[in-house]
Structure 1
Amino acid sequence: MSAAAPDARPSVVVIGGGVAGLTAARDLLVSMPGAQVVLLDASDRVGGKVRREEIGGHLVDVGAEAMLAVRPEALDLVGELADSAEVVTPTTTSARVWSRDGLHPLPRTRIGVPFADSVVAGLLTADEEFRMRAEAEAPEVGDDVSVADYIGGRLGSAVVDRLVEPLLGGVYAGQSSRLSLRATMPAVWAIARARGSLLAPPVVDPQAGTARPPFIGIAGGVGRLAELLAADIEKRGGVIESATIVRGLERTPSGWSVLSGPTTQPRRLEADAVIVAVPPPAASRLLSPISSAAGVALGEIEMASVAVITLAVPRAEVASWQGSGFLVPPVDGRGIKASTFSSAKWGWLAAEGDDTAYLRASVGRAGETASLQRDDADLVALAVREISEAVGAPPLTLIDSHVQRWGGGLPQYTVGHVERIARVAGAVAEVPGLEVAGAAYQGIGLPAVIASAHAAAAATATHLRAVAARARE
């Protein structure tokens, strides 16, 4: 693939085959059907942290297993790729918190911050609840502040320890003492800036229609999203190359040169534009020679490693369990940080599994590596032991199990993240034909990742059309 002549087809290399890279590549093929789009991915298969594996005879998600539906990007994309009947909602979202040696209903919260009418008794002691409801006066927050400092100062440390920490830990695998309030909890940040009450319930518009469910999935698993995207890319004439490591980028007089392959057999692809959709450490390495400002800012983003442990067990052993699972506050010193009763949560999985039920547990947080140093067998044993203990059940009988390790998989939105990403965006904007996308930029959930890919693809298409127009003048 070479850079385009005035009447040639425009060419784009997308680096990274996670949902961001796949979405950006597909967007370009949809908006510019004549474009030559090549996606290069270092993994054995595309999808990034969206993946299915066969466990107990069935394909099961071992990465993301749900998508936020309160914003439209994921729902709309799935609607374009699959039949609407394949979009599913959880059978139950009734979660609990395993803390103080018991399971407590998860109160109604705003990302872990309770409302004035939330029931927190048992999860918090009487003194802790009194401290929460006393709600200290709102201070000035400046440009940013950590989640723990702000919410702990307003409502007490117990609210952070027992509610905010486990919820944020599940999403970001981070620590609230370091995570940015502005970046991770924008709704709370808006209240903080207005110096309002954190306990005030959300305002409900009586004219609004029926609210969409907060989460959706795909029949067969969210891992199908990557498979559907890849199939559509290839159907539209795009090229996907897995197990291909990109080692360098260079500007050329007509566009870009992308270096891949082993040092003994280097290969260069020439292109009019490039979209970099890899995690921050890799993006920093690729972009530093092109834009030192972007490289430095991306290099400041820390990454957390996690592992997802999936258990296949006899359905009869878990048939009486209630709810969709539980969260585990780190203050309680357990090994796992959450468990999902997947077959209870997803009707398609319950039907497909028949006499087999699926559970999953997660371990790993930024700065905490001990749990991840255990081998797979130890992690499975830990999950079996602690899930059984939490629900007060006898040890589970294993039909099958799987451990998926996501090393350096989750970018950390630490204090100053919004400003940091603004620096990246400003630096990238100064380089014609270069865009970035992924979980580091607009949010860590799939809808935000998809939104970042849409933006990168749209900007790339605009650039390519402008270049073509100038060439015709």
Structure 2
Amino acid sequence: MATRRRVAVVGGGIAGLAAAVRLRDRADVDITVYEQSGALGGKLRTGELAGGPVEFGAESFLMRDPAGGESAAVALVHRLGLAGRIVHPTVGQAALAVAGGLRPIPGGTLVGVPGDLAKVTTVAQPTRDGDRDGGGPLLDPVRDVSVGALVRARFGDEVVDRLVDPMLGGVYAGRADDLSLVTTMPALARATRVEHTLLDAVRAAQAAVPRAPGEPVFGTLDGGLSTLVDAAATASGAAVRHHAAVRELTPTAAGWRLVVGPARDPEYVDVDAVVLAVPARPAARLLADVAPSAAEEIGGLDYASVALVTFALPEPALPELSGFLVPATEGLLVKAATFSTTKWGHLRRPDGLALVRASVGRYGDEAQLHRTDEDLAATVHRELSAVLGTALPAPIAGHVQRWGGALPQYTPGHLDRVAAARSVLRRAHPTLRLAGAGYDGVGIPVCVRSGETAADEIITALEGSGR
């Protein structure tokens, strides 16, 4: 009687859980998820504040994928029987905090990059003669550049500083001048290989995935995104090991040996295959002896740390906005704020309490996060009041959630480096795969797809090996 194959999923974030669900669906294997912390879900964490649910991590997912179909997150929600819980924002208009006031974010942009220069003049004055047709595509087929470098050259500094940088910063906590175009804006990158001007590239990228009027861009789950985590863990049928740090990874004749737990009391586990769904630096440490060239390719990826400060405020005077973004040039600690109970109708409360969440922390400015929770909360409260032009009431409850090393900073060439690392692993170690935000991009759909792809490749490798 054949022994059931065993697969270890190292990392219990949404990428690792998505891999475990796909393994369960497609293969007859024993799955164990090894999670270093005491909780699954990674940056998906639903908590409670003032008697109601609140997200202490990611708050939503994209409804569609880059090709126009349902996103991998939506597909997973359906697979887990949670489709009836999907809800959408009831207020979609957001603003920019510019020059001491709030101005609506202009329409017709692609992550802040204009497709119509006339529409952005309320917040930035673009350079109108910089986007000239040079007689050929903006970028050659293999070139990657930073988003900021491309947009500054074509539209000028204000468009980057007041539009693109805060919008990218809201997602990555990074700077447009450092972030890879190919990784962070793949649709625009593809269009630049064909179009001769940036305006035409933006329009082409937008036209490639048309969106019906009123179609929701984002969704979340009534009850919180931790329901997605719990449902995925259950559906995977995996054995879950909490507080189980994998410290070493060694190839064996039959697969892999994991060294789990503290050095003083190690546990040795033999498996047939491994999905490595942890951030790039810990993955590089595990690969240092196994595949040193792959480890070198991914080990240089840096991460930004952020903090989320959430208040429950008694009947504050808030604008009818989903929230606002703050350009770094404004000199504020807050880089983004969400009026959660305005944005999400399912969170509105009969007692009049409003949930307001602010994001703090930009790449390269981590020293600001060394403040105490009390200092962070007081500064955020003061800055929110200043931006809104009215003193917010004192919160009846608050929460500070720190995410150290949370957001990957993809410099130009990132995807090529990841592809090189994966190529090494496919040739030398076909039963070991990488998955997660450190490799393929941020956002729940991207992480889900990354985990599912890793699982598919593991299954193919196991079937091909005859194990």
Q: TM-score, normalised by structure 1?
A: 0.91
User: What amino acid does structure 1 have at the position aligned with 2:11?
Assistant: G
Q: Secondary structure at the match of 1:90?
A: coil
Taking the aligned partners of 1:206 and 1:300, their CA distance within structure 2 comes to 33
Does the CA-based 8 Å contact 1:384-1:396 persist in structure 2? no
Q: Verify the 8 A CA contact 1:70 1:213 in the aligned structure 2.
A: no
Aligned counterpart for 1:230 among listed residues 221, 229, 233: 233
Give 1:286-305 correspondences, 5 Å limit. 286-305=286-305
1:167 corresponds in structure 2 to 167
Q: Distance in 2 between matches of 1:327 and 1:207?
A: 25
Aligned to 1:35: 29
Q: Aligned pair in 2 of structure 1 residues 133, 107: CA closer, same or farther (>3 Å)?
A: farther
The answer to whether the Cα contact below 8 Å between 2:138 and 2:198 also exists between their aligned partners in 1 is no
Cα RMSD over matched residues? Answer: 2.0
Q: Distance in 1 between matches of 2:218 and 2:209?
A: 22
CA contact (8 A) 1:324 1:344 kept: yes
Q: CA deviation at 1:198?
A: 2.5
Deviations 1:417-436 (A, max 9, x none): 12111111111212121111
Cα-to-partner distance string for 1:102-132 (whole Å, 9 max, x where unaligned): 10110121111122165223412xxx24x24
Shift in alpha-carbon separation, 1:310–1:408, aligned structure 2, 3 A: same
Match of 1:276 in 2: 276
2:248 alignment partner in structure 1: 248
| Equivalent position amino acid for 2:366 in 1 | T
Matched, 1:194 2:194: yes
CA distance in 2, matches of 1:211, 1:286: 46
- 2: CA distance, partners of 1:389 / 1:209: 37
Please give the secondary structure, in 2, of the residue aligned with 1:284: helix
> Any residues of structure 2 matched to 1:134-173 within 5 Å, and which?
135-137=131-133, 140-142=138-140, 143-173=143-173
User: Does residue 444 of the first structure (1) align with residue 442 of the second (2)?
Assistant: yes
Partner of 1:393: helix, strand, or coil? Answer: coil
How far 1:195 sits from its partner (Å)? 3.9
Partner of 1:440: helix, strand, or coil?
A: helix
Q: Is contact 1:132-1:159 (8 Å) kept?
A: no
Give the secondary-structure state (helix, strand or coil) at the position aligned to 2:193: helix
The CA distance in 1 between the partners of 2:372 and 2:288, in whole Å, is 36
Alignment partner of 1:263: what SS?
coil
Task: Report matched runs for 1:319-358 at 5 Å.
Answer: 320-351=318-349, 354-358=351-355
- More off after superposition, 206-215 vs 158-167: 206-215
Amino acid at match of 1:305: S
Distance in 2 between residues matched to 1:364 and 1:282, nearest whole Å: 22
Supply the AA of the counterpart residue of 1:280: A
**Amino acid of the residue matched to residue 69 of structure 1?**
M
Which of 371, 375, 398 is the equivalent residue of 1:401? 398
Matching of residues 12-91 of structure 1 within 5 Å: 12-32=7-27, 34-71=28-65, 72-91=71-90
1:440 Cα offset (Å): 1.9
1:157: how far off? 0.7
Contact 2:10 2:278 in 1 (8 A): yes
Displacement, 1:140?
Answer: 4.9
Match of 1:335, as an amino acid?
L
Provide the secondary structure at the position in 2 that maps to 1:337: strand
8 A contact 2:431–2:458 mirrored in 1: yes
Aligned to 1:3: none
Say which is worse superposed, 212-221 or 161-170, in terms of deviation.
212-221
Segment drifting more, 209-218 vs 305-314: 209-218
1:381 and 2:378 aligned: yes
Q: Give me the whole-angstrom Cα distance separating, in 2, the residues matched to 1:421 and 1:98.
A: 36
State the shift of 1:293 in Å. 1.2
The verdict on how the C-alpha distance between 1:132 and 1:325 changes in structure 2, with shifts beyond 3 A counting, is farther
Over 4 Å off, 4+ runs: 136-140, 202-212
CA distance in 1, matches of 2:394, 2:54: 19
Q: C-alpha distance in 1, partners of 2:88/2:211?
A: 21
Q: Which amino acid aligns with 1:418?
A: L
The 1-side partners of 2:244 and 2:295 are apart by 22
User: For 2:438, what is the secondary structure of its paired residue?
Assistant: coil
State yes or no: 1:412 paired with 2:412.
Answer: no
Q: CA deviation at 1:77?
A: 0.5
Given the alignment, which residue of 348, 356, 369 partners 2:366?
A: 369
The CA deviation at 1:84 is 2.1
Q: Distance in 2 between matches of 1:293 and 1:426?
A: 10
Question: What's the CA shift string for 1:295-337, capped at 9, x where partnerless?
Answer: 10111111111111111111x224x521100000001111100
- For residue 455 of structure 2, the aligned residue among 446, 449, 457 is 457
Structure 1 residues 335, 137: CA separation in 2 closer, same or farther (over 3 Å shift)? farther
Q: Return the alpha-carbon distance in structure 1 between the equivalents of residues 55 and 128 of structure 2.
A: 38
SS of the residue aligned with 1:409?
strand
Q: CA deviation at 1:49?
A: 0.6
Is this contact kept in 2: 1:17–1:40, CA < 8 A? yes
Q: How far is the alpha carbon of 1:197 from its aligned partner?
A: 2.9
| Gap change, CA 1:148 and 1:117, over 3 Å in 2 | closer
Cα distance, 1:385–1:136 mapped onto 2, change above 3 Å: farther
Identity of aligned residues (%): 38
5+ residue gaps, structure 1, are 1-5
Indicate if the aligned counterparts of 2:147 and 2:178 stay in contact, CA closer than 8 A.
yes
Q: Secondary structure at the match of 1:397?
A: coil
Unmatched segments (≥5 aa) in structure 2: 66-70
Residue 177 of structure 1 deviates from its aligned partner by 1.3
